[in-house]
Amino acid sequence: SSFRSGTKLVAPLGCLVSRQKHTLPDLPYDYAALEPHINAEIMQLHHSKHHATYVNNLNVVEEKYKEALAKGDVTTQVSLQPALKFNGGGHINHTIFWTNLSPNGGGEPKGELMEAIKRDFGSFANFKEKLTAVSVGVQGSGWGWLGYNKEQGRLQIAACANQDPLQGTTGLIPLLGIDVWEHAYYLQYKNVRPDYLKAIWNVINWENVSSRYATCKK
């Protein structure tokens, strides 16, 4: 039996060695599709430059991490953690963000998600106000999130600094993320973050958020 348990380790380690590199996901809509709420220039730069940089850097960091792991070099592994968190978080967060937006978005969610929002925040208007306030209040760069607390079985609002990923840093499952880095809005809204946050509700893809909620509740 000890031999058998030993062979089980081969598969995951093998996967690690031949792992696929992370790639930039395609947007499910054109760069100009979210206008006038988010303009094409922002979307193009945000996706093809900013997100692409996180992906490239993540692949580089993982390669170095893999080498350090093979050598048993714990010092290097530890020193790579911040870059792993930043670029890995940037990739995770943006991959969710693009699907949270849609040219056919806006309005209000339906069904189970709406019921949960009313249960946990009193009303949709109250939820919207709270998430907007938390997002406006992020100091410097970061994200506002609607997450699901699996242990407590309830929705929760949280803010994360920089590219800290919600689940990896708070344990909450990400449902809806709002990017409040300046690169997400500055070209169009200058330094007036509240105007950007007001506009983004017109393109929120509630179908996507609802299906995320349904999946994480299982």
Task: Please indicate if the annotation marks 46 as binding a ligand.
Answer: yes
Task: Please indicate if the annotation marks 183 as binding a ligand.
Answer: yes
- Amino acid of residue 218: K
In angstroms, what CA-CA distances link 29 with 50, 91, 103, 104, 188? 18, 18, 8, 10, 19
Burial of 14 (0-12, 13-18, 19+ CB in 10 A): exposed
Under 8 Å between Cβ of 145 and 96 = no
Q: How far apart are CA 121 and CA 11, in angstroms?
A: 45
Taking phi over 0 as left and psi of -120 to 50 as alpha, with beta for the rest, 176 belongs to beta
**CA within 13 Å, CB half, 8:** 5
- Unique residue bearing structure tokens 């994200």: 143
Task: Please indicate if the annotation marks 179 as binding a ligand.
Answer: yes
Burial of 23 (0-12, 13-18, 19+ CB in 10 A): exposed
Binding positions for Mn(2+) are 46, 94, 179, 183
Binding positions are 46, 94, 179, 183
